[in-house]
Structure 1
Amino acid sequence: MGPFRVVRPADMLVVDIALVNLRFDGGRLVRREPAAPTLIVVGLPPQHVMEEIPQNPDPAAGPLRSVKAFASEASQLVFSVPPEVDSLSLSLASLLDWERLVPMTVPVVQPGATPPTGLPGSVLEFPTRLLLTYDEPVTWVCPSEPRNPDGRTGLWHALLSSERGGEALLRALGRADGRASVPSRFPLSAADLEDLVILTSRAELIDTAGAPIVLPSAPLRAEQFIATPLGASAHLHGAWDKADPSVGPRLEAIGRHRPEVAAYDHITGLGRDQFVRVVIRGFLSTGHPALLVSEFKRRFVAHRDNGIVAYLRQEDRIVLREPEVSYGESTGFPHQAREMPFRALRVTDRVTPLLKPAWPPKPADRPEAQPEARQPFWVELESGGDHQFTLLGTDHEGRQVSFTTPLVFVPDSKAGDVDALESLYASAETKEKGRLDRPLGGQVMAMAQPPADAPGSTSHAVGRLSFAMSRKVAGGEHPLAGTLVVSGAEVRVPALEPFTPKAGEVPVVFNAVYRDHGMAAHPARAYLDLVDAIGLDFAAEKVGGLARPNAAVKVITSQAGVVPDVFEPDANGGVGAADITRIQKAFGAAKLLGFIDLSALVGPVLTQDLDRLRQLGDNEIQALLDAEGGTIPAPVLRVRDLADAQGRELRYVWKTKLVPPDPPPPGGTLLDVSDAVLTLDARTVVSKEAGEETSVEGRLRDIALEIAGVARVEIADLRFKAAPGNKPDVSASGLELKFLGELRFIDTLRSALPADAFGSGAFVDVQPSGIRTGYALAVPDVPLGVFALTNVCLKLELDIPFVPEKAISFRFSVSERQRPFNVTVTLFGGGGYFSMLVDAEKGIREAEGAIEFGGGAALNLGVASGGVTVMAGVRLEVRDGAVKVGGYLRCSGFLSVLGIVTVSVEFYLELTYEKHGNESVVRGRGTLTVSVKIAFFSKSVSLELERSFSGAPGDPTFVDCFDRETHWEDYCLSFDGDP
């Protein structure tokens, strides 16, 4: 019998009824065919209305805005008339007597089975777009007549329960396809409905290889389900185990996603939602299993314009399932978790405050669109801003540090989508909000696993950690396709603080060799690199001026402290010898003797030399310092606690062989270091009682200084020692002076010097600006017959400044201008002096000398007496590039006759050459003076003459030598043609 509609206004009953295999024989409904199924099909009005969630969390506070709503379609109940019922009365009461009928379900179709045909089953659309049927026998109870026991007629309703009288079990057949998509702001998204179908339908899925996909399955439990003409009043709930992660790719291959719904609760009244809870299984980006709990509650509030309004409010929270996760070599980190300094992370937030809803993307507006899964999202608070999770990290030494950080929630279905995670962590918004840089406030933690023989050697006070997302390696145990790693940090390095104004927290990253191959692969057990190399700022007065090894340190090691970056990765991932370019870059600011570039004198670090950095305890360091051929290839900064635990000692130590620069600089080298060895050992002790005390020992062996090609000073051993409360002690031994080039003739004067010029007679003057050391020798007067040599003094002086503004200088002099030496041979005599000052930058700065010679004779005959004197001299002066050369001749004589007449004559001639830059001048001056004295009368006459000649400012230029009109063409043609 075709469907017909029954409407009973008294209790608002509206149903559509269709009869299958029943006919009316005039009095009752009887079977058409006794052996055929006999069914009563009941169509119910829509049982659910899906309402949009307002975007404003409190819409009652502002203008009232309508929300979108979508009603479900009609539900269908199918009842089978049992065989023992021969006929039915054609009355509404008989057709609504469902207790004696058998509710029909839709059978589960397993893979390979033939689906039944011709027998409809009961299908309830609840909630909207989800189609349900019975998972076990059920019963329906409904009143056949209106009920009004207290004078009020009750709404017609039908109660669903299990056949045993308890809660009914339901399963989802599928989603109601073929309809236009709806906006995403609804309690149940299309992805949630798809998950409910997968988790409750009991139908097996087949992968592309034809194998079944095993998924957790459990029916929905209906604690209450009452169908009414105005919609169902229901309470459904369900909970499911986690799907095996391995089924995710197999599901994606057939166009499905791994189900992520962990629990579902739904309470409605007359078809309108009162409470909906959807629990999504997922992870925090740290790998902690977590649940996203979304609750939708009907809220009744008083609106200022419209009275009482009711709307759905969404409340999202994240609940931690496992508060602690462990990290290790097999947990999927690209470098065996060396880029994650924590061995475990514990999240102390068991439940977050209310969060800003993160809606899944809206599916395409077409019926066949696949539901879009939820995407990873930053956990943000409803009140605004990121939620700061509190984490307790356990480092390599079991020490715990706490910090806060925003995290990403990753739905279970997106656990394998590393691109989504990386894009979130690399986005401009993430960097702008500072989500990746987390302050630690100076907490001490181990940045790497320390060696067994050096506990605590990798611990630092950390001011900041920077995080990044990295791809998990295949086979790792980490639940996500991406792992959260530490990409950088700001830490305190105590060894650097006494040497640099950049004391405090410095940015660091993990050393590449350590990260890729472990600490054992590095010769010095490095684990961190400074982002920017820091030059050590040694005060000159603290290192004696012998050397200022201001190397740029960059590598932080567990065994050798902080060292320059002299390590070159080899093809196998280890460390080999560094090239000279890297060495010179590391020592670019280092100085020797105040001004010599030390980087040009540091040789390459060989692979076998690097092995010495593997074990550098205090005993090993001292043994290398004492050994004749022992070296420490790179400067080492170390910090250790004092034995009495009353302070700390910082030690800087370096011992290296110097090598001549290759290629040599233009003009030759100042310093000969063919056999030189530089040693520096500085200790700074910081204690409560004494404060900070620094002691320094320096040594420079077997060096030679060649200054301006005129002098060579060879020093066998130059030492410096400074101790707290004492004057710096500088000593030198094995010093020898040699003259070179055109001044080699002066070298014969060295025989007058002692063999060791810096012996007991030497002077050493140590000042804050540098060291001045030398020797002065006064040669005794030498009388030998008619020969006499007097007033001779030999002096040499070496000045080693501490500051780079001044260069090392050397002065040698034979007597001085103020006290020249004197030489007489019979009636001839003379004298002179010589002084020369040269430095390493300008060469000859000052040079001056003079020599004077002449003779005199006197004659007395009684009647007449007289005398004559002739003197000549030459003087040379070179000062700051200006040259002055002069010579003179002075002749004088007198004659006296009987004391009455006296005549004297004096002749003086001087010639001077001066040069300043490109300008030169020659000056000549002559004077003749004649004096006559007769008795009481005297008269003197002088004649003077002076001339000067200026030279050209320089040589003529090329243009001056050619006439462009006549000579230039001839000049060019002279080069034309084949040679």
Structure 2
Amino acid sequence: MQGPFRVVRPSDMLVLDISLVNLRFDGHRLVRTNPAAPTLVVVTLPPQHVLEQAFEQLPATGTVSAVTAGASTLSFSVPATLEDLELSLDSLLDWSRLVPMTVPVGSTKPDTTGTALFQGLPRSVIEFPTRLLITYDEPVDWVGRTAPQQVGGRTALWHARLHGTQEGDVLLRAFAAVGDRGDLPAGSPLAAEDLADIVTLTSRNEQVVPGGLPADIPSAPLRSEQFIVTPLGSSAHLHGAWPPLPASRGLEAYDHITGLGRDQYVRVVRHGRLSTGHEASHVKEFRRVFAAHPSDGIVAFLRREDRIIVKQPEVEYGQTGYTHQGREMPFRTLRITDRATPPIRPPEPVSQEVDGPTRPLKDFTAFWVVLQNTDVDHEFTLIGTDCEGRKVSFTMPLVFVPDGLPDPDGNFTAVYQEPDQHNGVPDRHTRELHGQTMAMAQPPTEAPGSTAHAVETLTFGLGTMDGHAHPEVGLPYVSAGMVRVPAVEQFLPKAEALAVTFDPTYLQQSMDSHPAGAYLRLTNPLPLTLGAEKAGGLASPRAALQVITSQAGVVPDLFAAADSAADARNLVKAAFGGARLLGLIDLSEVVSGIVKDDLGQLRNLGDDQIDAILKDSNRMLPVPVLRIRDLADGQGKELRYVWKTRLPGPASVLAADDPTRFFVPSDAGTGATLTLDARTTRTKDAVDNATVSGELTGFALNFGDIRVDIADLRFRTGPGKKPDVTASGLAVSFDHDLEFINSLRSALPSDVIGPGAYVDVRPAGIVAGYRLALPSIALGILTLTNLTLSAELTIPFDSSPVSFRFSVSEQQHPFDVTVSLFGGGGYFSMLVDVDKGLSEVEGSLEFGGSAAIDVGVAAGGVTIMAGVLFKIAGSGSAQLSGYLRFNGFLSVLGIVTVSVDFYVQLGYRKDGKQSVIFGSGNLTVSVRIAFFSKSVSIPFERTFSGSPADPSFALCMPREPHWRAYCEAYAR
């Protein structure tokens, strides 16, 4: 090779180097040195491109980073028929007579680094754009003037145009990217991965995908409608379009326009998908813009604009790829109405190490679509179609994921879960639906619309990627939401949306596997209380509502009912803890355990089925059921709360100090039954009318020594009315120490709560009782008169305990008793409640006799009366008092009269551990003789305090030797 020879022609700024291969000068012209060897003319051009930094807006300073391309080489073969090749510039620049040499397909590296030698011969290698090496992909011609061109007194810049041998664009092939000259400028139009992917798509070389297998990648060359080389750089129009392939990281279009080596327009389009699965393209556009700079005057800089183009407006979601067969995704389709976004912020550069000679990737990453020069997400407008065909619209920021994104460290997952706050919204995954109605699950065929809710928000997540056609994106699903539940809102002080998630049983086994068709679950169980003032004091229903079903509305979470009784009771306790019966009894302690057979009644539960269950004494509704329906006239809605359950309350399994032991079923075999049916109607003018009816049957209240059996207790409340309460089958019996009262009770009718009974509904509660005046009772020589019996049961509306009072006559109306010449009277009453047990006992008895004698000259008489009063309060205080009164007189002929009056009172009082005995009395003696009388009165009083505490049995009975003797005595 001879040369290179530097050629400089100032008139048209021509600068180039020329080398000759197998040519020599014979004094007249250039001739071949070896006729059999290849003969070449090699031209080396100065850099043809400058790659400079781009900006989203006018840069603050005039300094711009840039790198230039290396020299380009044009290699021409001299045809054998060409023999008049002169050693002149005009002859060597006449390339139309020469044959351009191309780089062989499959060659990616020169024989010697830094040269254009391939397979021993110089080839045509053009570095355009910077760091990209291209050559011809078809036969071409170069057309240019050999001498300077004069036009109007001006000389045109030297240039040569590349021309195809066929009509149309010139086809070019990129065979390699230069990777050993440092990094490209930050923000340059072409990143390292762009250049590498252009080589992949145009080189026609066999590519190897990860895993070592060759990839069938169709090659499509770059097309150039204009390619002109000059001493100042190329003026070119390049265009490339390819099908998106993961091996090329989704590069699908590349356009490049330059003028004299400076970029005027660059467009790079990468295919990918949005985080919802929609096909989209990321478009990078760079344009040369002229603007006034504050310090540098008029400047021309490259302005960058990125956009996302939606290529697939609608995506369908089915079962494939989802962990739960798509049940976690309530939308069947999602349509994006945006065709293109406004300018967006470029993705943040990332650092990623790549093995081998490939340069580290800088800009290839998943990214949130954020508006240009802001931190505000672009919110795509989506229209979702649910499983029943309803359409709802909402906006949502999305992540763009380019095809072929390597994800060894969860790049997309990390970006999708990025916690940064944008546009004042801390959670990009939670979207507002503003109360639009949609189905959260596929409803049963027989109950269309039963899974529809007014939805306030939905929270989206990233689903499993297994089996999905595009695993780099995954599948969207709904992880949580805020929905309106009308049946529950009626019981809330303020109507608001409730946080829900999908029910685990629904996700794992479908709705059909759940007894009531559950599909949603309240994140926070909702304590629902129907106050005792509405339930007539009979019960204060309470339930922890948590599961939303298509068959039974909103119910407690009892559907994981275990087979063991202990587990079932624990579930009941969690669901109904705090629900009160008769003001005290925790319903969770006495309600029967829920079994799976009971839950089957909730399937296909309509109003007719509910009414049938209420009428059938053998069927139950094991959990409260909430239903809402439109009124028949269409002028409002009705909310219904229904519950019918067994209350076995087996006293035998309860501890002796358990407050629920007093509630027992009348029939231990079937147990008591509690029925509640509450209805609230709301008209269109927001007027609410509530009615509550209920029934408690077959139960007894055991107060220890007193038992009250009630066959049926019913109530009904309505707007503006006092509760209507009726009771039947009430019977009172006494045991143990009070069994003697049964002899008096035998005078009562067998059904006390009948004619003459009373039920009084007061603001504080319900009082049910009976008062009976008995006729005189003769028991041998004993006669009882003025005797009355009364029994009174009080059921408070608040949390006060149920109480029962029984009395024989009253203090203000005592009974009378006579035995022959002796007589007296008294009363007795006792009060018990389920909280303190025996709360108060009070009674009194007086008895005495009198006699008189008159023998003419003398007359006299004597009266003796004795009485006792006792009172015991539940606080531990006791009081006992008695008296004795003796009165006598003697009169002789009416002249001398002597009278004696003796009165003594004894009392015992105990406060806590302190006991006191006290006594007082008075003795009065009167004497009257004719007109003279004299009385003498002698009062007296004594008090005796006992020890702070009575001696214990252990103190009275030492272990040795008395305890052994005591035990042996009783053993005999």
Band the TM-score falls in, shorter-chain normalisation: over 0.9
Q: Secondary structure of 1:887's partner?
A: strand
Shift in CA distance, 850/364, structure 1 to aligned 2, threshold 3 Å = closer
Q: Secondary structure of 1:90's partner?
A: coil
Distance in 2 (alpha carbons) for counterparts of 1:850 and 1:878: 12
| Residue 969 (structure 2) aligns with | none
AA aligned opposite 2:529? D
Shift in CA distance, 906/517, structure 1 to aligned 2, threshold 3 Å = same
Shift in CA distance, 643/217, structure 1 to aligned 2, threshold 3 Å = farther
Distance in 1 (alpha carbons) for counterparts of 2:749 and 2:794: 20
* Identity fraction in percent: 56
Structure 1 counterpart of 2:379, from 388, 395, 420: 388
Structure 1 counterpart of 2:134, from 118, 132, 135: 132
Q: 2:657 matched to 1:667?
A: yes
Moved more, 310-319 or 414-423: 414-423
- 8 Å CA contact 1:162–1:168 kept in 2: the answer is yes
AA aligned opposite 1:126? F
Distance in 1 (alpha carbons) for counterparts of 2:460 and 2:183: 39
- 8 Å CA contact 2:847–2:866 kept in 1: the answer is yes
Moved more, 499-508 or 864-873: 499-508
Deviation, 1:419, is 2.3
Shift in CA distance, 418/447, structure 1 to aligned 2, threshold 3 Å = farther
AA aligned opposite 1:483? L
- 8 Å CA contact 1:341–1:486 kept in 2: the answer is yes
Question: Pairwise mapping of residues 640-789 of structure 1 onto structure 2 (< 5 A)?
Answer: 640-660=629-649, 663-668=653-658, 669-673=661-665, 674=668, 675-688=671-684, 691-707=687-703, 709-724=704-719, 726-782=721-777, 788-789=783-784
- 8 Å CA contact 2:159–2:231 kept in 1: the answer is yes
Shift in CA distance, 77/212, structure 1 to aligned 2, threshold 3 Å = same
Distance in 1 (alpha carbons) for counterparts of 2:609 and 2:282: 58
Moved more, 527-536 or 158-167: 158-167
Distance in 2 (alpha carbons) for counterparts of 1:298 and 1:569: 72
Structure 2 counterpart of 1:534, from 509, 526, 531: 526
AA aligned opposite 2:225? E
Q: Secondary structure of 1:457's partner?
A: coil
Question: Pairwise mapping of residues 521-670 of structure 1 onto structure 2 (< 5 A)?
Answer: 521-568=513-560, 579-660=568-649, 663-668=653-658, 669-670=661-662
Shift in CA distance, 450/480, structure 1 to aligned 2, threshold 3 Å = farther
Q: Secondary structure of 1:199's partner?
A: helix
Shift in CA distance, 770/180, structure 1 to aligned 2, threshold 3 Å = same
| Residue 953 (structure 1) aligns with | 948
AA aligned opposite 2:505? V
Structure 2 counterpart of 1:866, from 847, 856, 860: 860
- 8 Å CA contact 1:915–1:921 kept in 2: the answer is yes
- 8 Å CA contact 1:425–1:468 kept in 2: the answer is no
Shift in CA distance, 526/445, structure 1 to aligned 2, threshold 3 Å = same
- 8 Å CA contact 2:125–2:133 kept in 1: the answer is yes
Distance in 2 (alpha carbons) for counterparts of 1:518 and 1:768: 49
Q: 2:50 matched to 1:49?
A: yes
Deviation string, structure 1 residues 228-286 (Cα, Å, up to 9, x no partner): 1111111111111122xxxx5xxxxxxxx542111111111111111111111111111
Q: Secondary structure of 1:357's partner?
A: coil
Q: 2:798 matched to 1:798?
A: no
Distance in 2 (alpha carbons) for counterparts of 1:110 and 1:605: 78
Shift in CA distance, 307/176, structure 1 to aligned 2, threshold 3 Å = same
- 8 Å CA contact 1:401–1:444 kept in 2: the answer is yes
Distance in 2 (alpha carbons) for counterparts of 1:101 and 1:828: 158
| Residue 235 (structure 1) aligns with | 237
Deviation string, structure 1 residues 354-411 (Cα, Å, up to 9, x no partner): 1111144256699753435611111111142111111111111111111111111111
Q: Secondary structure of 2:220's partner?
A: coil
Distance in 2 (alpha carbons) for counterparts of 1:441 and 1:207: 47
| Residue 114 (structure 2) aligns with | none
Shift in CA distance, 690/98, structure 1 to aligned 2, threshold 3 Å = closer
Deviation string, structure 1 residues 828-869 (Cα, Å, up to 9, x no partner): 111100000111001122210011111110111121111111
Structure 1 counterpart of 2:166, from 160, 164, 167: 164
Distance in 2 (alpha carbons) for counterparts of 1:943 and 1:954: 35
Deviation, 1:166, is 3.2
Shift in CA distance, 803/481, structure 1 to aligned 2, threshold 3 Å = same
Structure 1 counterpart of 2:481, from 489, 498, 511: 489
Deviation string, structure 1 residues 715-758 (Cα, Å, up to 9, x no partner): 12222223446542222222211112211111221111111001
Q: 2:309 matched to 1:309?
A: no
TM-score (norm 2): 0.92
Deviation, 1:217, is 2.4
AA aligned opposite 1:91? S
Distance in 1 (alpha carbons) for counterparts of 2:495 and 2:743: 56
Distance in 2 (alpha carbons) for counterparts of 1:743 and 1:880: 17
Distance in 1 (alpha carbons) for counterparts of 2:644 and 2:342: 60
Distance in 2 (alpha carbons) for counterparts of 1:562 and 1:362: 52
Structure 2 counterpart of 1:340, from 329, 345, 361: 329
Q: 2:58 matched to 1:58?
A: yes
Shift in CA distance, 846/211, structure 1 to aligned 2, threshold 3 Å = closer
Q: Secondary structure of 1:583's partner?
A: helix
Distance in 2 (alpha carbons) for counterparts of 1:507 and 1:394: 22
Distance in 2 (alpha carbons) for counterparts of 1:221 and 1:800: 94
Question: Pairwise mapping of residues 325-474 of structure 1 onto structure 2 (< 5 A)?
Answer: 325-330=315-320, 332-362=321-351, 369-372=359-362, 374-384=364-374, 385-414=376-405, 419-429=410-420, 433-472=426-465, 474=466
Q: Secondary structure of 1:381's partner?
A: coil
Structure 2 counterpart of 1:276, from 259, 266, 278: 266
Structure 2 counterpart of 1:836, from 830, 835, 839: 830
- 8 Å CA contact 2:879–2:908 kept in 1: the answer is yes
Distance in 1 (alpha carbons) for counterparts of 2:587 and 2:526: 17
AA aligned opposite 1:634? V
Deviation, 1:935, is 2.4
| Residue 973 (structure 1) aligns with | none
Deviation, 1:221, is 0.9
Deviation string, structure 1 residues 278-320 (Cα, Å, up to 9, x no partner): 1111111111111111111111111222211111111111111
Deviation, 1:501, is 2.6
> Structure 2 stretches of 5 or more lacking a match?
112-116, 957-972
TM-score (norm 1): 0.92
Moved more, 370-379 or 64-73: 370-379
Distance in 2 (alpha carbons) for counterparts of 1:204 and 1:576: 70
Distance in 1 (alpha carbons) for counterparts of 2:79 and 2:895: 182
- 8 Å CA contact 2:351–2:360 kept in 1: the answer is no
| Residue 191 (structure 1) aligns with | 193
| Residue 78 (structure 1) aligns with | 75
Distance in 1 (alpha carbons) for counterparts of 2:758 and 2:786: 21
Tell me the matched-pair count.
Answer: 935
Structure 2 counterpart of 1:92, from 85, 89, 93: 89
Distance in 2 (alpha carbons) for counterparts of 1:945 and 1:493: 80
Shift in CA distance, 563/502, structure 1 to aligned 2, threshold 3 Å = farther
Distance in 1 (alpha carbons) for counterparts of 2:591 and 2:910: 42
Q: Secondary structure of 1:541's partner?
A: coil
AA aligned opposite 2:616? A
Q: 2:866 matched to 1:875?
A: no
Structure 2 counterpart of 1:262, from 242, 245, 252: 252
- 8 Å CA contact 2:645–2:675 kept in 1: the answer is yes
Moved more, 196-205 or 721-730: 721-730
- 8 Å CA contact 2:201–2:248 kept in 1: the answer is no
Deviation string, structure 1 residues 307-357 (Cα, Å, up to 9, x no partner): 111111111111110111111112x22212211111111111111111111
